Amino acid sequence: MKPKKNRARRGAHASGVQPALYRTRVGVDTGGTFTDFVFEAEGELRIFKLASTPDDPSRAIIEGLRRIAAETGSRLSEIEVVHGTTVGTNALLQRRGARIALLTTAGFEDVIEIGRQARPELYNLNAVKPPPLVPSELRFGVAERVAASGEVLEALNDREVNALVEKLRRSGCESIAVSLLFSFAYPDHEQQIARALRNLSLPLSISHQILPEYREYERTSTVAINAYLQPLMGRYLTRLSESAAEETKVQRPKSKDQSPSFRLRVMQSSGGSISAASAAEEPVRTILSGPAGGVVGATRAALAASFENTITFDMGGTSTDVALCDRDGMRLTNEAMVAGVPVAVPMMDVHTVGAGGGSIARVDEGGSLRVGPESAGADPGPACYGKSLLPTVTDAHVVLGHFPGAALLGGEFKLDEVRARTALDKLAAEMSRAAQRNVNAIDAAQGVLDVVTTNMERALRHISVERGHDPREFTLIPFGGAGGLHAITLARALQIPRVLLPASPGALSAIGVVTADVVKDQSRTLMLEASRGVAPKLEQVFGDLEKQARAVLRREGFVESKQRHERSLAARYQGQSFELPIKQTRGDIAAAFHRAHRARYGYAQEKNVVEIVSARLRSVGVVEKLKTRRASRSSSRRFAKPHDFAETYFDRKKLHVAVYRREGLQGGARLRVPGIVTEYSATTLISGGILAELDSYGNLIIDLIDLGKLSG
């Protein structure tokens, strides 16, 4: 039977082709172990996972798109893909980007290595900073100088620029970063250099285009990262697009009908997507692409369930990403550190630790049990995947009986219980020698979970307690393939009163990616006193930024009614080193800053002068949302009937617990605890003494209360 085709969407595509020809929208999230796919077909959301192909992530993606094309009756040219990628992230973490050169104002060649006075570890006198992305022999100074006001103190010399071009030609560099002093105030010198460098046919990263803000170190670092990732990201996106184009030719070799070309968008770290061409030009904006998709998906689920204050907890195969969202929505930052280097473009305020299902357990030289940050990844993977004997977090769960039937992905992915037990026996033997007492595989498995949970608890405290937020006022939203396995334990540790487990939690990042709006972030340094007389200047600056953004979004196919422009300011007390973001851009801006400062630090200095450092504009092209379907609701609030029962370990006790299949549960159904909820993309452990039930959207709501205190 031929699958039904999806109903077309309305609107104009940037190329002039009607998006109505894009019948299927797909979200793809590439993780360390699995690549997740989400698409809408026949009015419902479908998900599946494939093993990632770390050597070339595009291979797994093309395989998944073939499957989607077969299920929907589409060709690849009729599929629109929004991609959450780890290509840039991994290249930066593993230092396998391009060989890049840096051009800057003479005398400032080493700013990228000198950095700031702040030491990475305050009490470690021997702390080692990561090496700069640009080696000293590829850092070139050019004689020019511009004042902070934008006044030209020393003009650029064409002859010197031409000589530098020849040096770069012989240097063997693969990409070039240009970051001149105060280029945001006077960009002409950078524009002149860029025109001369285009003859080299190399990727260029120009600071006044990527980050027109002050602070030469952070700006130079951000531009250098962009140049470092440009060749790799460009090749990857080109390869993915060309592979899709070749696949289309195979599908319809003689087709002459008019159809769109394969359309690809990439998720940004700020929570919105951009075109593949923009991502190839500015890959620095995609460093936290995957984690940002997870936060968007979790926020969408929370709003549907009427929850405001949430802490998102994404545990995958390699790492755990946590973020805090309050009444003001998802938090962004321009002061992120990734792989030891600053990134000053807008990013989700996500904290990452090396703790995932594939994190490898070992006994260190001091005899202590360590888990991560090294991961078994997709290949060879945990011992239970059948290719290694590496003891991992997933193997610990297998040994403790947390996967009834010992399979993942709805039974498609069988787990090797014997191999997992062998790996944990080996770890137990090492622990026995270190502790000089007998440790069995069960003890070792529980120890692995205790250690990795402590690592994740520390991450959750970092984004909540350490920033002045009380976890007791928040709801924990776990997702990722392993999030539900640890959520209850973490909620108890931080006294979080409620856990909301969305439907399809193991693919929530892909759901977030496919539902994300198209976003363009812009900024401009101002350095103005926050007085009422500043209003006309702000209006002029925001007007210019909005004019540029509207043109970009129109080219992406968004009419005015589908655009949203959000203004904000970065402000500080005059003399401070760092700013706070405030959303108020009219009226008494100083008072708004005092309130923001008091909320963040507990005090305000209302007699001090408030300085507006930068104007920031977040422009959004609103994407058509996927349909939200309510789950069928039970006529009574009785306990659901378990699908099965299993022998498993909960809190070091072996128990006979109920096993539920999530797809068989109706809205309003209560679950007997302790119990295990299984589904295609994830497994959830629910310990005793709490209340668990499904809401009308299929979310599993878990209240951490003492059931013994409930009357009736």
| 143 and 216 belong to one structural domain | yes
pLDDT-based confidence at 707, cuts 50/70/90?
Answer: very low
Check whether 711 has a pLDDT greater than 80: no
Angle (CA) 502 504 507, round 5°: 110
CA atoms within 13 A on the CB side of 474: 29
Q: CA 438, CA 449: separation in Å to the nearest integer?
A: 19
| 65 and 166 belong to one structural domain | no
54-58, 224-228, 637-641: range with lowest mean pLDDT: 637-641
| 220 and 272 belong to one structural domain | no
**CATH number of the domain enclosing 141:** 3.40.50
| CA 672 to centroid of chain Cα atoms | 35
> Which residue type is seen at 393?
V
| 384 and 427 belong to one structural domain | yes
What are the tens digits of pLDDT across the range 562-593? 999 999 999 999 989 889 999 999 889 999 99
Residue 677 lies inside a defined structural domain of this protein: no
- Angle at which helix 417-435 crosses helix 441-463, to 10 degrees, equals 80
Q: CA 341, CA 110: separation in Å to the nearest integer?
A: 14
Alpha-carbon separation of residue 620 from 48, 178, 282, 690 (angstroms)? 29, 29, 18, 41
Contact 478, 484 (CB under 8 A): yes
> Which residue type is seen at 395?
D
| Pairing mode, strands 273-275 and 336-338 | unpaired
CA atoms within 13 A on the CB side of 355: 27
Output the average pLDDT for the chain. Answer: 87
Alpha-carbon separation of residue 466 from 330, 457, 475 (angstroms)? 18, 12, 17
- Percent above pLDDT 70 for the chain: 92
What are the tens digits of pLDDT across the range 252-281? 555 555 455 678 999 999 999 999 999 999
Residue 320 φ then ψ, to 5°: -125, 130
Strands (E), 496-622: 498-501, 518-529, 563-573, 580-582, 610-621
Check whether 352 has a pLDDT greater than 70: yes
Overall average pLDDT of the 614-623 stretch: 93
Contact 176, 168 (CB under 8 A): yes
Check whether 4 has a pLDDT greater than 80: no
Overall average pLDDT of the 474-484 stretch: 93
Domain range for 249: 19-91+232-285
Token pair, residue 640, equals 């659901």
Q: CA 158, CA 60: separation in Å to the nearest integer?
A: 49
Residue 539 lies inside a defined structural domain of this protein: yes
| CA 232 to centroid of chain Cα atoms | 19
Token pair, residue 539, equals 């209006």
What are the tens digits of pLDDT across the range 671-702? 988 999 999 889 999 998 889 999 888 899 99
Q: What is the CA radius of gyration of the chain?
A: 27
The number of helices, as runs of H, and strands, as runs of E, in the chain is 16, 36
| 387 and 374 belong to one structural domain | yes
621, 643, 666 - which closes a domain: 621
Alpha-carbon separation of residue 191 from 141, 356, 543, 712 (angstroms)? 16, 45, 23, 75
122 Cβ contact partners less than 8 Å away, ≥ 6 residues apart: none
**CATH number of the domain enclosing 245:** 3.30.420.40
pLDDT of residue 17: 35
Q: CA 243, CA 239: separation in Å to the nearest integer?
A: 6
313 Cβ contact partners less than 8 Å away, ≥ 6 residues apart: 320, 322, 456, 460, 476, 477, 478, 479, 480, 483, 487, 490
Choice between 635 and 462, residue whose per-residue pLDDT is larger? 462
| 173 and 258 belong to one structural domain | no
| 74 and 114 belong to one structural domain | no
Report the length, in residues, of the chain: 712
pLDDT of residue 132: 92
Residue 333 lies inside a defined structural domain of this protein: no
Contact 482, 505 (CB under 8 A): no
Strands (E), 31-84: 34-41, 44-51, 79-84
pLDDT of residue 435: 86
| 46 and 157 belong to one structural domain | no
**CATH number of the domain enclosing 573:** 3.30.1490
Q: CA 298, CA 305: separation in Å to the nearest integer?
A: 11
Alpha-carbon separation of residue 21 from 42, 210, 262, 494 (angstroms)? 17, 33, 11, 49
| CA 45 to centroid of chain Cα atoms | 22
Residue 583 lies inside a defined structural domain of this protein: yes
SS3 of residue 246 by DSSP: helix
Check whether 14 has a pLDDT greater than 50: no
| 141 and 244 belong to one structural domain | no
Q: CA 163, CA 168: separation in Å to the nearest integer?
A: 9
Q: CA 112, CA 220: separation in Å to the nearest integer?
A: 7
| 199 and 217 belong to one structural domain | yes
| DSSP for residue 122 | T
What are the tens digits of pLDDT across the range 24-77? 889 999 877 789 999 987 667 889 999 888 888 899 999 999 999 888 888 777
Residue 247 lies inside a defined structural domain of this protein: yes
Contact 304, 296 (CB under 8 A): no
Token pair, residue 25, equals 């929208």
Residue 292 lies inside a defined structural domain of this protein: no
| DSSP codes joined into one string, 582-599 | E---SS-HHHHHHHHHHH
591, 621, 651 - which closes a domain: 621
**Block residue for tokens 């998720």:** 267
Our count of domains for the chain comes to: 4
Q: Roughly how many angstroms between the first and final C-alpha of the chain, as a whole number?
A: 52
What are the tens digits of pLDDT across the range 495-541? 999 999 998 898 899 999 988 899 999 999 999 999 888 999 999 99
H or E element at residue 293 = helix 289-304
Q: CA 106, CA 375: separation in Å to the nearest integer?
A: 43
- Sign of the Cα pseudo-torsion (648, 650, 655, 658, in order): negative
Alpha-carbon separation of residue 469 from 298, 310, 459 (angstroms)? 19, 11, 14
- Percent above pLDDT 90 for the chain: 59
Q: Is 534 exposed, middle or buried (0-12, 13-18, 19+ CB in 10 A)?
A: middle
Alpha-carbon separation of residue 653 from 248, 397, 453, 650, 687 (angstroms)? 55, 14, 18, 5, 11
Residue 80 lies inside a defined structural domain of this protein: yes
Q: What is the dihedral of CA 512, 514, 515, 518, to 10 degrees?
A: 110
| 415 and 530 belong to one structural domain | no
606, 621, 636 - which closes a domain: 621
| 76 and 147 belong to one structural domain | no
pLDDT of residue 310: 95
Residue 707 lies inside a defined structural domain of this protein: no
Contact 309, 474 (CB under 8 A): yes
pLDDT of residue 308: 86
Contact 677, 662 (CB under 8 A): yes
